[in-house]
Amino acid sequence: SFRPADGRAWDPSPELVQAFRATPRHLFVHRFKVPGLEQTFVLRRRRPSREALRLAYGNTVLTHLNAAGEALPSTNSEPAFILFLVDLLGLRPGQRVLEVGSGGGWLVALMSRLVGASGAVTGIEIIKLPRSANSAYFTELPNQTTTSPPCFSRRRRASSRA
Write the pLDDT tens digit of every residue in 17-53.
Answer: 999 999 888 888 888 999 899 899 888 667 778 898 8
Q: Which residues of the chain are modeled with pLDDT < 50?
A: 132-133, 149-162
Among 99, 106, 1, which Cα is nearest to 64's?
Answer: 106
What strand order describes the sheet that includes 41-42? 41-42, 31-33, 62-65, 71-76
pLDDT tens per residue, range 112-121: 999 998 998 8
Nearest alpha-carbon partner for 94 in 135, 137, 140, 142: 142
The pLDDT assigned to 137 comes to: 59
